[in-house]
Structure 1
Amino acid sequence: MRGLTNIQSVYLVGIGGIGMSALARYFAAQGKIVGGYDRTSTDLTKELEAAGISVHYQDDVNAIPEAFMSAENTLIIYTPAVPSNHAELNYFRDNGFEVLKRSQVLGELSKTYNTVAVAGTHGKTTTSSIIAHLLKSSSKDCNAFLGGISSNYNTNLLTSTSSNLMVVEADEFDRSFLTLSPDIAIVTSVDADHLDIYGSSDEMLNSFQDFTERITEDGTLIYRLGLPFSNTKKKNFTYSLKEKCDYYTSNLSIESGQYKFNLHSPSGTMENLQFGMPGLHNVENAVAAFAAVDQLGLSEDEIRNGFASYKGVKRRFEVHINTDDLVYIDDYAHHPTEISACVNSVLLSRDKFRAGSPRLGCSRFGQILPCDPLFC
């Protein structure tokens, strides 16, 4: 691997993905010439084009701009979603270009920053975005590669010219998170998922354990209470919603659609914090985020103000319509645990919605499907 220091141009095959587009924006912010291919035009690719990043939509070597045809100073980044017979990708491989997976590039970047990496089969996008917002709105600042569009900043990339902190999602798909070298690692959950990759839940659990071994010397592991992790060579902290451990809440209540609670940590208690994201699972994500920023030394005022001003992530319980007749919420939930958490969030937050006590439904492939009556 040649490294990232001497490159002048970056070409991304699959540039329209949420993670790939963040890398495109990052390298553009670093002053590199950036372009790429994707199969279809989307809002994300249009935003990249509006920012001066060239994107084309046909797999055609002749369509690659001249700025990306020098193997000596061009980095090629691709996503595993790109098929093996992709003409452009194979051209770069056959002609001596540096060709890296997205995860490998993030792994290289994680070595140059003080990195907070959030892993888990669910909860990592929200948790990482909360951490990023707490840091960005504090004196610490940060860089962040997010797996969703932050509602606070309307982007999936945060950059800083003054901070050496970086927040990333540690993606378990294709074992991508094993390229990272985090200083703080968080594990939110390890439910059976991606079994086409892992073969069994035990093998997936082993990969998460391997991820915890990637923590840097003197680094910190934070994991949800009950998960089978510990690392005797690192600092270990547990968190939970309400069970007593290193980080947890008490006096949890909902007032006017806002959660209010006390937060307990090894150093003391913060009382009467306010957090506006619906769902007890999101409060637990906030506890994990609190553990990370507490280890990084944020003040109580910075944490309190950051929680109160956090607006969430698009497509994570994003309310589009809230009228007397209809409530429409867009949520990315697709794993059974996530779907259950989403439905419970609606049930616990009914006083926030004007339609009162509506029957619930879910959308799939453009059709509205009724939920099980047990949930309604």
Structure 2
Amino acid sequence: MNLNTIHNVYFIGIGGIGMSAIARYFHANNKRVAGYDKTQTEITKGLVELGIAIHFDDSIGSINEVFLNAENTLVVYTPAVPKDHLELNYFKNNGYNVVKRSQILGLITEHTFCLAVAGTHGKTTTTSILGHLMNACHVPLTAFLGGISENYNSNLILNGTEVSVVEADEFDRSFLTLSPDFACITSMDADHLDIYGDAEELKKSFIAFTERLKPNGKLFVKNGLGLEGITYGIEDDSDYTIQNIKIINGAYIFDVKTPKDIIENLEFNLPGRHNLSNALIALAMAVEYGCSYQQLAEGLASYKGVQRRFTYQIKTNDFVFIDDYAHHPQEICAVHQAVREMYPTKKVLAIFQPHLFSRTRDFIDDFAESLSKFDELLLLDIYPARELPIEGVTSSWLLGKINNENKQLVSKENLLKAIHDSDAQVVLTIGAGDIGAEVKRIKKEFSIAN
């Protein structure tokens, strides 16, 4: 497919974080863009403000007739769209070029120098750091991010087309459409077992991803994953390793040992060892690309983070409210480590919304163990996303397994009262569902109170 001959691009599921970045990309490249999504969100509002037409009813009649020309219209959809979707089936049955988001990302990036970030945890933050570092080094790049960067208030960094930085998503084996020059794997913990069946199949998919590297490409792997490549780790014997870590005024100050040098006194402002690890691999890829140490140091110090990744909503001496996207037991453990490191003497209340019935079932004991670490816990109902309920898989079942005396199920209607009833000085919202919509309510309520 030659994208130069495509004039119109129609998105089904345009409000998705990955889909909207590609919609922004095509709009910036003077294509006519429109789309459908199920619900109106801040993301869809932002697209509409750019002049992109979006409707929210699944109806052929709602599609602008310009996009009903199959010859020069490309249709992009997300696997989250149900198979009986009217618009999707219309396009499939009437001779249109209909492709998944991952396929179009492969097409956009195949003739660029592509740096791809894969892993069951850390993809979005690492991709965002890498895009920001490369941009700070004036590399002509386009970066497709899986979250809204605080530095750019966008999920797209558009500053040239020679280099691409992409999040390589293992869901639905999407990352196997990419052909990167540099690729990293941050982690291979079991996840998406509704797709893969077991952890071994997931690992096979990551190995298949490594085989997608272009000739003479470089693979970067976290030390301990058992894969051959340039290794990275914290305070170990990796090719790239962080040393001499200090916390000064809430920021990490550290050195990085590369295969050739030591880069001293780097500053990084995101809490948590998991974020230090993300910063290290982004730095390593940028160093191997050829970026200067001075520009990288400045870029790292100016990095602000990604929305819903340990994002401070309220930060006073008496009360702290942090929001995070963590939805896997290992991610929850990482958030716990970060909050304990930053606030070792304060009481911590976690509010968690499980994401997917299948993930809750598959990791029930790991979820229980990770959530037991907090001083207090409020548990919301499971967010179903693309799934139907599974018998017996409920938040009540999870609650019963959590070893914590200060735990309770709570509805969204009673959430603010439950927080008021707590004397915790640090409050966390955690999850990948619509818990993000509660963040505004909590912030408004407790900004007034504090």
**TM-score bracket for this pair, using the shorter chain length:** over 0.9
SS at match of 1:277: coil
Distance in 2, matches of 1:122 and 1:147, equals 12
Runs of 4+ in 1 over 4 A off after TM superposition: 370-376
Deviation at 1:322, TM superposition (A): 1.3
Deviation at 1:374, TM superposition (A): 10
Task: Name the counterpart of 1:233.
Answer: none
Q: What letter matches 2:179 in structure 1?
A: S
Deviation at 1:4, TM superposition (A): 1.6
C-alpha distance 372-271 of structure 1, shift in aligned 2 (>3 A): farther
1:157-168 alignment runs, 5 A limit: 157-161=156-160, 163-168=161-166
Distance in 1, matches of 2:341 and 2:119, equals 24
Tell me, yes or no, if structure 1 residue 81 matches structure 2 residue 75.
no
SS at match of 1:158: strand
Task: Name the counterpart of 2:223.
Answer: 225
Deviation at 1:363, TM superposition (A): 3.8
Deviation at 1:287, TM superposition (A): 0.8
Gaps of at least 5 residues in structure 1 are: 231-235
Q: What letter matches 1:122 in structure 2?
A: H
Q: Under a length normalisation based on structure 2, what TM-score does the superposition of the two structures give?
A: 0.78
Distance in 2, matches of 1:167 and 1:323, equals 36
CA RMSD, Structure 1 to Structure 2 (Å): 1.8
Distance in 1, matches of 2:59 and 2:85, equals 9
Distance in 2, matches of 1:22 and 1:289, equals 20
Q: Which moved more, 1:133-142 or 1:287-296?
A: 133-142
1:200-349 alignment runs, 5 A limit: 200-230=198-228, 236-349=229-342
Task: Name the counterpart of 1:96.
Answer: 95
Deviation at 1:3, TM superposition (A): 3.2
Contact kept in structure 1, 2:349 and 2:377, CA below 8 Å: no
Task: Name the counterpart of 1:198.
Answer: 196
From 369, 373, 378, the counterpart of 1:369: 378
Corresponding pairs, count: 364
Deviation at 1:184, TM superposition (A): 0.3
Deviation at 1:372, TM superposition (A): 6.2
Distance in 1, matches of 2:241 and 2:151, equals 25
Query: Alpha-carbon deviations, 1:266-323, whole Å to 9, x = none?
Result: 1210011110000011001111001100111010101110110000000000000112
Task: Name the counterpart of 2:366.
Answer: none
Query: Alpha-carbon deviations, 1:71-96, whole Å to 9, x = none?
Result: 00000000000011111111111110
Task: Name the counterpart of 2:55.
Answer: 56
Tell me, yes or no, if structure 1 residue 10 matches structure 2 residue 9.
yes
Tell me, yes or no, if structure 1 residue 138 matches structure 2 residue 137.
yes
Tell me, yes or no, if structure 1 residue 124 matches structure 2 residue 123.
yes
C-alpha distance 180-41 of structure 1, shift in aligned 2 (>3 A): same
From 348, 355, 379, the counterpart of 1:359: 348
Q: What letter matches 1:193 in structure 2?
A: D
Query: Alpha-carbon deviations, 1:213-271, whole Å to 9, x = none?
Result: 000011110000011212xxxxx300001111100011011111000110011121001
Contact kept in structure 1, 2:136 and 2:296, CA below 8 Å: no
Q: Which moved more, 1:268-277 or 1:138-147?
A: 138-147
Contact kept in structure 1, 2:9 and 2:34, CA below 8 Å: yes
Gaps of at least 5 residues in structure 2 are: 355-375, 380-401, 407-423, 425-450
Q: What letter matches 1:227 in structure 2?
A: L
Deviation at 1:368, TM superposition (A): 6.4
Task: Name the counterpart of 1:174.
Answer: 172
Query: Alpha-carbon deviations, 1:307-349, whole Å to 9, x = none?
Result: 1000000000000011233211000001000000001100101
Distance in 1, matches of 2:220 and 2:31, equals 35
Query: Alpha-carbon deviations, 1:140-196, whole Å to 9, x = none?
Result: 2421000000000000011123x5111000000000000000000000000000011
SS at match of 1:143: strand
Deviation at 1:139, TM superposition (A): 2.4
SS at match of 1:112: coil
Distance in 2, matches of 1:256 and 1:372, equals 34
Q: What letter matches 2:17 in structure 1?
A: I
SS at match of 1:175: helix
Q: Under a length normalisation based on structure 1, what TM-score does the superposition of the two structures give?
A: 0.94
Distance in 2, matches of 1:374 and 1:190, equals 33
Task: Name the counterpart of 2:447.
Answer: none
Task: Name the counterpart of 2:37.
Answer: 38
Distance in 2, matches of 1:110 and 1:228, equals 28
Query: Alpha-carbon deviations, 1:101-134, whole Å to 9, x = none?
Result: 0000011112121100000000010111000000
Contact kept in structure 2, 1:33 and 1:67, CA below 8 Å: no
Distance in 2, matches of 1:28 and 1:198, equals 35
Distance in 2, matches of 1:227 and 1:95, equals 46
Distance in 1, matches of 2:404 and 2:90, equals 54
Q: What letter matches 2:34 in structure 1?
A: G
Deviation at 1:373, TM superposition (A): 5.7
